[in-house]
């Protein structure tokens, strides 16, 4: 509907725009179009670096066009295309503006800043038209919404995080919590000797013993013995562990130990494949289904052969410890920001860790690593939980908003004040990164409203969304404006849709004017929001068991349950679940058929074959085979199976297939059979005496002489078929119908839906809507809605549909009924991909809002009084937030002459009036006097409390500052903070700063800050003293800085100091033996609590025209007392450059550095780096060409590369050539490329043709050719050739 | 996951068959049509346009001069398509590349195609044919092709008929490249420097018929157009200057992100 309207509107606006007379126009198009065709031959690996495939021509095009056209004096077209950007980044807008009419078609914004009336900043695609008559203006919009509104807030350079650690997974409580969210915490070992950065080596060791090889052979992995033996010790990557210092050193794993073990085996398998060059089906793969019971057993046993080595000290996996370290997921956590809550086993609520009842629970923060070290009682780990809220430091001024933003949709506010793009910030809309030009201060807040693209890389959207609107404005009647907008989703939910369609309507009215000297503005609005974005989630459908089968494997009998979320296998009291991630073709299991040596699984996305030829077959990757429609299955969903007559039969929604059991994975050999006319959806299949019987949603059909014939009482929906003797039992919506061998029929169960049938020890069992029934019984064996039944050696199994609480149990009936609850079966009671509607009446919000503002000037005072009210549920289209708020406010601003400026304001407001009212009375006084020294006074009293006028918490912020600047002397004293009268507490800080010229050339500055807090930890006192000097003497110019920083936690008496000093000496140019010498020396010294370091650097420029020499020496030394590690470094550099020869400019650069790490426990470790670069440029005067040859040698890489670039500017056009030769690790790679670019006319002239001239001047052609050669250290030479041509036109 | 996205994108783009990971049937050629046709929902079997090779090759005799048409399409952000065609009176040829890049290590989706069309004019009647070659390159190399017949009758109301796949061989073994008959009516009007064209096509006559409609209105340098079909809205426009024309079309799918089609024509 919406789309048809949009087309009609488009046509109307187009007609309005164009149905005029003569078509004079003025069009400007600026841009470029290119076509490039390239093709490569040779090595695929080398060509991939050029984005080419061997023998495959590649056509690439680019187009960039900026279009602006005007016609008839009232039509304007603006368009911008760049095909390197996505569709959301293309602009076009057609405007027809002929008073009193105006129409727009294309992309534009509704409700831009300052013009919104019920709609806030929605960028749309569509049309809008307006009529502005003498006394009235009417406008309408008909658009498609392109983005989904979002809001992000950032506070200072800090991020907020919260992590909950539990015993069980929060979403699937029948599973244990994942590694990083488990109360058990990180796996760790306590190190026996301290860890030294850069010197201690951490490796993973496999104990290459006979016991290991025997173990691997037992598990079918003997083939990796050779590769494991080759590399029994492998290094752990830096990201896989962390060292925690808290007393002694502990080494904790940042990946689960089982993952390390799995990776090691997988790496050995990869090495085996690489060594033998195995590909395709011969390639070995990791044999276990990840996290299956079989794999868990394997990895547990394997772990006994693993250890982490710290240097030569071994820490075996079996000695891993837990229950000490909880990783918060962010580094650099801010001390004092961490809050810990604890939920004891058996309790529902979290308590603060400071609760006196939790005296045995202690914790400390390791801030740099973002880890909390805990010491909790052992019994806590049975079912306890920990919640940790914290803040962490963010770096930089970049803020990630997420991918694919709608261009121009952002509104950015810093402390409530709007910022301007280009002036205050910039945005990369594709990447979704906002960069502020000035960083946020710690207490500043950045709020960003924006829209994210619907679809693509943006937000997944279930519906098409449109915005309609109508606005009326009557300027002569108190500037009356009326707006009515409706944003709504189009479409109906299908079972897989996760949300309900939203319909959001807003009606608004605004008037403004003047009365008796007062300016007033009044606005009123109401909204109805049906299924708002945060309240539109449909509820999951209940999971149900669809099929039950018994399957024999070498290790025993399995009972297999197929349900909406996959497959669950039961054996020896243990259930294990499998889904698409483990090998299933699809998600939902419709049918099961057990055959000797294999299990057929019919899913919603094809056939899955589980080969039952090994013990624990479901846990082995190689047991699973997937066959889909693309492979030859006659349909997408495999719905039913049958077996008989030596064959196997399978039914899909599009047809049937017959095959022998041995061809189950060879669908090309299958015989295809058509469905009955009308293609009723199959539900069951049966083989009876050479005849196929098909159950469908529309009755039973029998196949006779190649034709389907309806049998029984047609029309009933069939759920299952069962053969008993010569009779076919049919489970239907109406009971069980028996089709006799002679053609007669009989109902044995009537009046209820029967879902499944099974024969067990000759007795009929059936699953019905009221329970599991045994043939002839008066009451069900199990009550409740049962949907599947199946026999097994241990009894009759049954399963049903999950109840309203999503509990799904399995039952086994032998001598008595035994229940297997969800905690044992681990079957999720929710159908994870199908959802049900929710009622609109429970998910609709209504709301009203009103605002009145009065303002007037009284002498030198400007007064403003405002009242506003927003009823809960009111929502503006496009703006998040719906909580209610009500308040009145005034502002008085002194605007007179003189040194004083004064603003007094006050506001009373109440939020959540209907539910939990919270009142807030605020005032503000800001006075600034600048008659001499500058005096600033700011008081912000606030009273808050539960209830509209119950102000039980009174506090006031203050800020006092006096400062002055006279010449080079500046000083200031400041105090700021908050005082609470409710609990007679105060928190704030006092500070002072002073800067003055001490002696000539030196400026001394100091700052002091001391926090105070009457309750809680006060913080840290800081004193910073800085002396900066500069001067010149004896021909040497010097600059120096000395800084001393003293920090003192007010909890302790100890001061920590950090010192830094820098000195730079520059001597003017001296002439020595005909050489101009310019030496520079700089040195620095820093010392902190954890390290001291000094460094010095000396450079000298020696110029003896036309030769320039530059010499450099760098030395440094550092020491870390905590680990006793010291480092010393020496660097030498030399460069030579000459302009002696006209047209030739050679240069040589050499640098070498040595870094020596020392520690009492380790041998000295010396690292050397060396680089030599020789470069020569030729550019003969008047030749028009330039060639640059560069040769670079690097150590320790041992690489040598030679590159050459030749560029030649022709009279019309240019030619360039790039070539390179690289030797590294014994391999040689060479690449040569040539590119020629010419204007088209120049090319024609060169070929002897007549130039085209005119518009062809803008055309150009370029050709490229390249050759790449690589000679590996071991192996054969590979090479590739590529050529290409680019045709381009500029306009 | 991205492979699924690509499949969904291609299906949403009007695909009729995606088998074994290759773009089969008419999909590639339907996508390669210019931005003008896309802006009218693909309707216009009875119209004479620069992309007649793709829409109705029987219109080729009415082509003026040499026209080079290049088309670029971003298919819902999942794949890119590039096509270049050269048209002369009575004759046209095109090359097409659809590339989804490397979906996962070692798995790419890439298909190339070519089309050659020729037609003769018998008074107001044009009769022509078109040969199409389809070559999926990755992930499964294959070759297929189809031969099409076309008719255009230019009266007060133009009637176009295209019978695609009269002879065909699918690149996917076991799959059909089904023949498809399309019939279109068009009403082009030119008066006082203005151009108006309305078109209505009935696709897949005898199979699963569907109707697409489209219209365009404008002057020599500017045309705006819209269309509706297959549950999608199509809007677009054309700007012409010097030797060039720029056509663009935006395809608004109910749920997926919008798709952009841009084509650039050089008239010699």
Q: How is residue A597 written in tokens?
A: 């040596």
Best B7, B225, B246, B261 member to test A by mutation, with max A CBs in 10 Å, is: B246
Q: What is the pLDDT of residues A231-274, one digit of tens each?
A: 999 999 988 999 998 778 999 999 999 999 999 999 999 999 88
What residues of chain B lie within 8 A of the CB of A60, using their CB? 82
Contact criterion met (CB < 8 Å) for A67 and B246: yes
Mean pLDDT of chain A: 89
Contact criterion met (CB < 8 Å) for A18 and B194: yes
Segment 898-937 of chain A within 8 Å of chain B by CB: none
Of A18, A59, A81, the CB nearest to B97: A59
How far is the alpha carbon of B262 from chain A, nearest alpha carbon, in Å?
Answer: 8
Helix (H, G, I), strand (E, B) or coil at A379: helix
What residues of chain A lie within 8 A of the CB of B264, using their CB? 33, 63
What residues of chain A lie within 8 A of the CB of B35, using their CB? none
Query: pLDDT at position B137, please?
Result: 81
Query: pLDDT at position B174, please?
Result: 64
Segment 139-158 of chain B within 8 Å of chain A by CB: none
What residues of chain A lie within 8 A of the CB of B108, using their CB? 53
> Quick check: B9 pLDDT over 50?
no
The residue of chain A with its CA nearest to that of B265 is: A33
Contact criterion met (CB < 8 Å) for A14 and B224: yes
Q: How many CB atoms lie within 10 A of CB A660?
A: 13
Contact criterion met (CB < 8 Å) for B246 and A81: yes
A105 in contact with chain B, both atoms CB, cutoff 8 A: yes
Contact criterion met (CB < 8 Å) for A83 and B97: no
Q: Beta strands A147-155 and A25-42: pairing type?
A: unpaired
Contact criterion met (CB < 8 Å) for A69 and B221: yes
Segment 420-459 of chain A within 8 Å of chain B by CB: 453-458
What residues of chain A lie within 8 A of the CB of B218, using their CB? 18
B6 in contact with chain A, both atoms CB, cutoff 8 A: no
Ranges of residues in chain A whose predicted pLDDT is under 70: 1-24, 113-116, 395, 442-443, 455-460, 713-715, 741-743, 880-881, 1016-1018, 1254-1255
Query: pLDDT at position A1035, please?
Result: 83
Contact criterion met (CB < 8 Å) for A94 and B74: no
Helix (H, G, I), strand (E, B) or coil at A461: coil
The residue of chain A with its CA nearest to that of B225 is: A11
Query: pLDDT at position A458, please?
Result: 64
B77 in contact with chain A, both atoms CB, cutoff 8 A: yes
A1140-to-A163, A1136, A1177, A1178, A1191 alpha-carbon distances in Å? 67, 12, 12, 12, 21
How far is the alpha carbon of A595 from chain B, nearest alpha carbon, in Å?
Answer: 29
The residue of chain A with its CA nearest to that of B261 is: A87
Contact criterion met (CB < 8 Å) for A87 and B253: no
The residue of chain B with its CA nearest to that of A29 is: B241
Side-chain-side CA neighbours of A627 within 13 Å: the count stands at 23
Q: How is residue A938 written in tokens?
A: 């700011």
Per the listing, tokens 């690509």 go with B6
What number is the ipTM of this complex?
Answer: 0.78
The residue of chain B with its CA nearest to that of A48 is: B102
How far is the alpha carbon of A463 from chain B, nearest alpha carbon, in Å?
Answer: 5
How far is the alpha carbon of A502 from chain B, nearest alpha carbon, in Å?
Answer: 14
Cis status, amide bond into A484, omega within 30 of 0:
no
Query: pLDDT at position A8, please?
Result: 44
Segment 176-205 of chain B within 8 Å of chain A by CB: 192-194
What residues of chain B lie within 8 A of the CB of A66, using their CB? none
How far is the alpha carbon of A94 from chain B, nearest alpha carbon, in Å?
Answer: 9
How far is the alpha carbon of A609 from chain B, nearest alpha carbon, in Å?
Answer: 20
B7 in contact with chain A, both atoms CB, cutoff 8 A: no
A83 in contact with chain B, both atoms CB, cutoff 8 A: yes
Best B248, B253, B261, B268 member to test A by mutation, with max A CBs in 10 Å, is: B248
Torsion of CA B4, B10, B15, B16, to 10 degrees: -10
Q: How is residue A638 written in tokens?
A: 């495999």
Contact criterion met (CB < 8 Å) for A65 and B266: no
In this complex, how many residue pairs, one in chain A and one in chain B, have their CB atoms less than 8 Å apart? 167
Segment 1237-1266 of chain A within 8 Å of chain B by CB: 1255
Q: What are phi and psi of A564, to 5 degrees?
A: -65, -25
B5 in contact with chain A, both atoms CB, cutoff 8 A: no
Q: Beta strands A861-870 and A885-894: pairing type?
A: antiparallel
Query: pLDDT at position B24, please?
Result: 60
B262 in contact with chain A, both atoms CB, cutoff 8 A: yes
**Distance in angstroms (rounded) separating the CA atoms of residues A1189 and A1187:** 7
Q: Is A203 exposed, middle or buried (0-12, 13-18, 19+ CB in 10 A)?
A: middle
Q: Which of B79, B118, B71, B110 is nearest to B236 (CA)?
A: B71
Of A57, A81, A87, the CB nearest to B257: A87
B219 in contact with chain A, both atoms CB, cutoff 8 A: yes
B210-to-A1, A671, B200 alpha-carbon distances in Å? 17, 33, 11
Of A29, A61, A462, the CB nearest to B82: A61
Best B189, B197, B218, B237 member to test A by mutation, with max A CBs in 10 Å, is: B237
What residues of chain A lie within 8 A of the CB of B65, using their CB? none
Query: pLDDT at position A664, please?
Result: 92
> Quick check: B22 pLDDT over 60?
no
B105 contacts: CB under 8 Å, gap ≥ 6: none
Q: Which of A540, A578, A542 is nearest to A560 (CA)?
A: A578
Q: Which of B27, B20, B17 is nearest to B107 (CA)?
A: B20
How far is the alpha carbon of A668 from chain B, nearest alpha carbon, in Å?
Answer: 10
Contact criterion met (CB < 8 Å) for B215 and A461: no
Per the listing, tokens 């099961």 go with A592
Strand runs labelled E in B139-193: 144-154, 158-169, 180-191
Of A71, A457, A491, the CB nearest to B254: A491
Contact criterion met (CB < 8 Å) for A14 and B226: yes
């Amino acid at each position: 509907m919406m789309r048809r309207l949009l087309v009609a509107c488009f046509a109307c606006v187009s007609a309005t725009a164009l149905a005029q007379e003569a078509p004079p126009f003025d069009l400007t198009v600026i841009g470029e179009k290119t076509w490039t065709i390239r093709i490569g031959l040779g090595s695929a690996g080398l060509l991939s670096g050029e984005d080419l495939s061997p023998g495959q021509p590649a056509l690439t095009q680019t187009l960039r066009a900026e279009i602006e056209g005007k016609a008839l004096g009232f039509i304007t077209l603006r368009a911008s295309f760049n095909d390197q950007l996505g569709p959301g980044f293309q602009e076009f807008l057609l405007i027809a503006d002929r008073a009193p009419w105006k129409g727009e078609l294309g992309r534009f914004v509704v409700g831009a800043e300052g013009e919104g009336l019920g709609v806030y900043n929605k960028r749309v695609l569509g049309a809008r038209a307006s009529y502005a008559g003498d006394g009235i203006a009417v406008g309408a919009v008909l658009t498609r919404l392109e983005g989904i509104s979002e809001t992000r807030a950032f506070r200072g350079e800090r991020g907020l995080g919260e992590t909950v650690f539990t015993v069980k997974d929060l979403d699937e409580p029948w599973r244990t919590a994942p590694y990083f969210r488990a109360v058990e915490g990180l796996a760790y070992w306590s190190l026996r000797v301290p860890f030294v950065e850069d010197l201690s080596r951490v490796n993973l060791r496999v104990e290459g013993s006979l016991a290991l090889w025997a173990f691997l052979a037992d598990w079918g992995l003997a083939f990796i013995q050779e590769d494991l033996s080759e590399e029994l010790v492998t290094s752990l990557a830096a990201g896989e562990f962390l060292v925690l210092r808290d007393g002694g050193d502990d080494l904790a794993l940042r990946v689960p130990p089982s993952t390390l073990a799995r990776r090691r085996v997988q790496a050995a398998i990869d090495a085996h494949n690489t060594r033998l060059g195995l590909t395709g089906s011969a390639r070995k793969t990791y044999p276990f289904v990840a996290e299956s019971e079989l794999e868990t057993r394997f990895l547990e046993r394997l772990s006994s052969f693993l250890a982490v080595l710290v240097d030569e000290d071994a820490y075996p996996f079996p000695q891993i410890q837990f229950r000490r370290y909880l990783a918060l997921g962010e580094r650099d956590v801010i001390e004092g920001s961490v809050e810990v809550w604890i939920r004891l086993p058996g309790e529902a609520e979290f308590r603060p860790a400071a609760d006196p009842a939790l005296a045995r629970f202690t914790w400390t923060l390791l801030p740099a690593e973002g880890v909390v070290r805990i010491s909790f009682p052992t019994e806590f780990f049975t079912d306890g939980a920990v919640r940790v809220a914290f803040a962490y430091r963010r770096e930089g001024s970049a803020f990630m908003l997420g991918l694919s933003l709608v261009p121009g949709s952002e509104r950015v506010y810093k402390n409530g004040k709007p910022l301007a793009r280009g002036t205050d910030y910039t945005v990369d809309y594709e990447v979704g990164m906002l960069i502020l030009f000035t960083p946020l201060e710690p207490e500043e807040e950045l709020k960003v409203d924006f829209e994210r693209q619907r679809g693509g890389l943006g937000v997944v959207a279930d519906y098409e969304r449109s915005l309609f609107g109508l606005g009326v404005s009557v300027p002569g009647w108190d500037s009356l404006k009326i707006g009515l907008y409706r944003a709504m989703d189009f479409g109906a939910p299908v079972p897989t849709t996760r949300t309900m369609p939203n319909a959001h309507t807003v009606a608004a009215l605004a008037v403004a004017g003047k009365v008796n000297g007062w300016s007033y503005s009044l606005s009123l609005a109401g909204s109805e929001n049906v299924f708002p974005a945060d309240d539109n989630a449909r509820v999951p459908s209940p999971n149900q068991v669809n099929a039950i089968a018994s399957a024999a494997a070498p290790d025993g009998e399995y009972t297999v349950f197929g349900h909406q979320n996959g497959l669950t296998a039961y054996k020896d009291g243990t259930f294990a679940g499998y889904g698409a991630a483990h090998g299933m073709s699809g998600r939902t299991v419709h049918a099961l058929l057990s055959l000797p040596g294999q299990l057929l699984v019919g899913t919603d996305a094809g056939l899955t074959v589980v080969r039952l030829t090994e013990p624990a077959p479901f846990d082995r990757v190689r047991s699973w085979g997937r066959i889909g429609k693309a492979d030859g299955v006659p349909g997408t969903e495999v719905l039913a199976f049958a077996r008989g007559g030596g064959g196997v039969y399978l039914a899909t929604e599009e047809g049937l297939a017959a095959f022998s059991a041995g061809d189950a994975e060879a669908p090309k050999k299958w015989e295809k059979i058509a469905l009955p006319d009308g293609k009723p959806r199959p539900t069951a299949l049966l083989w009876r005496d050479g005849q196929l019987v098909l159950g469908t949603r529309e009755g039973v059909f029998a196949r006779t002489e190649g034709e389907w014939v309806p049998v029984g009482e047609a029309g009933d929906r069939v759920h299952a078929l069962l053969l008993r003797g010569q009779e076919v039992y049919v489970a239907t919506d109406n009971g069980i119908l028996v089709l006799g061998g002679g053609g007669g029929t009989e109902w044995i169960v009537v009046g209820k839906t029967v879902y499944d049938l099974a024969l067990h020890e000759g007795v009929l069992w059936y699953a019905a809507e009221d329970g599991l029934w045994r043939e002839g019984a008066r009451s069900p064996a199990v009550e409740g809605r049962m949907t599947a039944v199946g026999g097994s050696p241990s009894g009759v199994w049954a399963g049903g549909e999950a109840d309203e609480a999503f509990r799904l149990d399995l039952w086994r009936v032998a001598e008595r009924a035994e229940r297997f609850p969800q905690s044992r079966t681990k079957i999720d009671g929710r159908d994870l991909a199908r959802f049900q509607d929710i009622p609109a009446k429970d998910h609709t919000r209504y709301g009203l809002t009103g605002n009145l503002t009065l303002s007037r000037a009284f002498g030198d005072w400007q007064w403003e009084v405002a009242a506003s009210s927003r009823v809960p549920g009111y929502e503006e289209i496009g703006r998040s937030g719906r909580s209610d708020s009500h308040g009145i406010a005034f502002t008085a601003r002194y605007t007179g002459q003189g040194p004083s400026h004064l603003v007094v304001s006050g506001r009373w407001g109440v939020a959540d009036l209907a539910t939990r009212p919270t009142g807030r009375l605020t005032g503000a006084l800001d006075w600034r006097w600048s008659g001499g020294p500058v005096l600033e006074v700011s008081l912000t009293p606030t009273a808050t409390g539960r209830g509209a006028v119950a102000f039980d918490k009174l506090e006031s912020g203050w800020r006092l500052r006096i400062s002055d600047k006279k010449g080079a002397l500046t000083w200031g004293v400041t105090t700021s903070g908050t005082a609470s009268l409710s609990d007679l507490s105060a928190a704030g800080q006092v500070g002072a700063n002073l800067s003055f010229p001490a002696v000539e050339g030196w400026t001394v500055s100091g700052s002091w800050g001391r926090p105070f807090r009457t309750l809680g930890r006060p913080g840290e006192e800081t004193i910073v003293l800085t002396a900066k000097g500069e001067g010149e003497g004896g021909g040497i110019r010097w600059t120096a800085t000395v800084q001393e920083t003293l920090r003192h936690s007010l909890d302790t008496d100890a001061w920590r100091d950090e010192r830094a000093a820098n000195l730079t000496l520059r001597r003017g140019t001296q002439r020595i033996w005909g050489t101009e010498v310019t030496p520079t020396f700089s040195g620095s010294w820093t010392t902190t609590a954890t390290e001291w370091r000094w460094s010095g650097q000396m450079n000298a420029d020696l110029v003896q025209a036309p030769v320039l020499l530059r010499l450099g020496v760098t030395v440094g030394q550092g020491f870390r007392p905590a680990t006793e590690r010291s480092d010393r470094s020496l660097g030498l550099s030399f460069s030579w450059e000459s302009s002696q020869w006209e047209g030739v400019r050679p240069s040589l650069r050499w640098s070498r550095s040595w870094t020596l790490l020392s520690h009492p426990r380790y041998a000295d470790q010396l690292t050397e780096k060396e680089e030599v670069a020789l470069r020569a440029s030729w550019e003969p005067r008047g030749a028009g060409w330039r060639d640059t040859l560069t040769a670079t040698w690097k150590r320790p890489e041992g690489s040598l590369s030679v590159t050459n670039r030749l560029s030649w500017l022709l009279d019309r056009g240019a030619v360039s050539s790039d070539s390179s030769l690289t030797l590294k690790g014994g391999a040689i790679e060479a690449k040569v490329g040539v590119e020629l670019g010419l204007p088209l006319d120049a090319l024609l002239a060169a070929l002897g043709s007549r130039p085209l001239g005119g518009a062809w001047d803008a055309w150009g052609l370029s050709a490229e050719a390249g050759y790449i050669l690589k000679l590996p250290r071991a192996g054969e030479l590979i090479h590739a050739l590529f050529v290409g041509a680019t045709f381009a036109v500029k306009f | 996951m991205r492979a699924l996205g690509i499949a969904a994108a291609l299906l949403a783009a009007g695909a009729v068959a995606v088998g074994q990971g290759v773009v089969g049937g008419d999909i590639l050629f339907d996508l390669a049509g210019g931005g003008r046709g896309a802006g009218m929902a693909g309707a216009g079997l009875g119209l004479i346009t620069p992309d007649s090779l793709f829409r109705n090759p029987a219109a080729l005799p009415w082509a003026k001069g040499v026209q080079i048409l290049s088309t670029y399409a971003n298919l819902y952000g999942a794949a890119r398509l590039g096509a270049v065609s050269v048209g002369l009176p009575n004759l046209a040829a095109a090359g097409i590349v659809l590339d989804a890049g490397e979906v996962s290590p070692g798995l790419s989706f890439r298909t190339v195609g070519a089309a050659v069309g020729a037609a003769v004019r018998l008074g107001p009647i044009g009769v022509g044919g078109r040969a199409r070659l389809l070559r999926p390159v990755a992930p499964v190399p294959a070759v297929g092709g189809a031969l099409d017949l076309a008719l255009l009758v230019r009266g007060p109301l133009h009637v176009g008929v295209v019978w695609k796949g009269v002879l065909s061989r699918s690149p996917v073994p076991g799959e059909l490249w089904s023949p498809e008959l399309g019939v279109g009516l068009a009403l082009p009007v030119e008066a006082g420097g203005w151009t108006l064209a309305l078109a209505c096509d009935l696709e897949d006559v005898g199979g699963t018929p569907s109707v697409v409609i489209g219209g365009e209105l404008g002057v020599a340098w500017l045309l705006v157009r819209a269309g509706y079909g297959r549950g999608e809205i199509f809007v677009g426009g054309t700007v012409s200057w010097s030797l060039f024309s720029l056509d663009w079309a935006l395809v608004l799918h109910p749920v997926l992100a919008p798709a952009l089609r841009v084509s650039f024509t050089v008239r010699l």
